[in-house]
């Protein structure tokens, strides 16, 4: 699913071609016991589903783009919710005509390469659902 090397608290990851990036990243974090951290990366995909939260209705609108795109900027954080890895990742994808689509990343299928850097934090970052926003917000006591 992925290969990686480690340099202290940083992990340099290459996800295998044709994998779904968010599942692979979640599996990596779970397997390495990384429940707090940050992630950034680049790559290429042929399918991506982005999610937009309408703040009025608090409903998510998902949209899938099925075309070859460059993951020109993928950035996010790693925390935990109910003891499990919780990923919050946003990404921009560059299309063949050089326009960009972007937003909250739900899933993306790798077609080419996906090179990520994960940094492990040593604190505990919990989340809990917030009624007002409809989001799983950081829970700092």
> Which residues of the chain form contacts with Fe ion (CB under 5 A)?
104
Alpha-carbon span 77 to 53, nearest angstrom: 18
Closest residue by beta carbon to Fe ion: 104
| Least Å from the CB of residue 71 to Fe ion | 16
| Least Å from the CB of residue 12 to Fe ion | 24
Separation of first and last alpha carbons in the chain: 36
Q: Identify whether the C-beta of residue 94 lies closer than 8 Å to the C-beta of residue 67.
A: no
| Least Å from the CB of residue 5 to Fe ion | 29
Q: Report in angstroms the alpha-carbon separations of 129 from 82, 94, 99.
A: 11, 32, 34
Nearer to Fe ion, 113 or 125 (CB): 125
Nearer to Fe ion, 53 or 117 (CB): 53
Q: Report in angstroms the alpha-carbon separations of 2 from 15, 16, 19.
A: 4, 5, 9
Nearer to Fe ion, 47 or 104 (CB): 104
Nearer to Fe ion, 52 or 124 (CB): 52
Nearer to Fe ion, 16 or 62 (CB): 62
Q: Which of 38, 88, 20, 40 is nearest to 1 (CA)?
A: 20
| Least Å from the CB of residue 103 to Fe ion | 8
- Report helix, strand or coil for 82: coil
| Least Å from the CB of residue 96 to Fe ion | 26
């Amino acid at each position: 699913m992925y290969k990686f090397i480690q340099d202290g608290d940083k992990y340099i990851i290459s996800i295998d071609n044709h994998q779904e990036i968010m599942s692979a990243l979640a599996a990596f974090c779970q397997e390495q016991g990384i429940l707090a951290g940050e992630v950034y990366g680049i790559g290429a995909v042929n399918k991506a589903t982005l999610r937009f939260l309408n703040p009025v209705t608090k409903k998510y609108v998902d949209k899938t783009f099925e075309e070859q795109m460059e993951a020109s900027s993928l950035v996010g954080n790693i925390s935990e919710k109910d003891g499990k890895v919780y990923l919050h990742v946003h990404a921009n994808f560059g299309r063949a005509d050089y326009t960009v689509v972007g937003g909250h990343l739900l899933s993306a299928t790798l077609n080419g390469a996906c090179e990520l850097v994960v940094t492990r934090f040593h604190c505990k970052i919990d989340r809990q659902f917030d009624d007002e926003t409809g989001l799983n917000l950081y829970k700092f006591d």
